[in-house]
Amino acid sequence: MVQTIGVVGLGRFGSSIAKTLNELGHQVLAIDSNGENIENIKDFVTLAKQVEYDAISLKESGICECDMVVVAIGHSIQENILVTLMLKELGIKYVVARAVDDLHEKALEKIGANRVINPEKTSGIRLANQMISSDILDIIEISPEYTVQEFTAKKEFVGKTLVELDLRKRHNVAVLAIKREDQLIILPPAEEKIRKDDILLAVGKTKNIHRDIHRE
């Protein structure tokens, strides 16, 4: 399902999130108080706006129409916390906020951030992918276009064999392994039938996996 996602703070981390979400087909509202950052991102997102970080300006930007918002401000902990708080007060249901350390993380949790992430532990590309699908358990970026993803088998997969799913031909996605309770099936045969709660390890183009598998 296509979502409208706001990204506030367009440094390297925020820009990576915004671009990845846009590439995955979502509507992205990119916001920053710095005009240069807006110029750098405007061709890669749905809409980019230079906005001051105060409640009135944020409300007028249209950010309240977003399904979720990522606060990626990294240069100022104070601005990061204040913007997160303002977004919650504006009624944004789901706010993902960037933390620079454990103390900052605790502060963001106390003011209502729904999820707190640390760029030292999570890349922008990985976060963007995990945000749009609750099935994804882990992602390994092997190139700018390709990822290895670990995800819970969709209910539509259960009871079907790999040959019936035909992921390789249909989506150019290869299943490398299946985790089933304490069992690991490496390079599973085509006749292997997917069971409920199976975890699949697959490799393919990031766009293909999200567009054709996680959204099916």
Helix axes 77-89, 102-110, angle to 10 degrees: 20
**Distance separating alpha carbons of residues 121 and 94, to the nearest angstrom:** 21
Domain boundary among 101, 130, 159: 130
Give the C-alpha separation, 203 to 169, whole Å: 13
**pLDDT over threshold 80, residue 19:** yes
Question: Do residues 63 and 53 touch, judged by C-beta distance below 8 A?
Answer: no
| pLDDT more than 70, % of the chain | 86
Residue 204 has pLDDT above 60, yes or no: yes
Q: Domain with 142 in it: what CATH number?
A: 3.30.70.1450
Quote the tokens at residue 194.
Answer: 């997917």
What's residue 41's pLDDT?
97
Averaged pLDDT of the chain: 87
Asked if residue 110 and residue 59 are part of one domain, the reply reads yes
Q: Is the pLDDT of residue 154 over 90?
A: no
Domain span holding position 205: 135-214
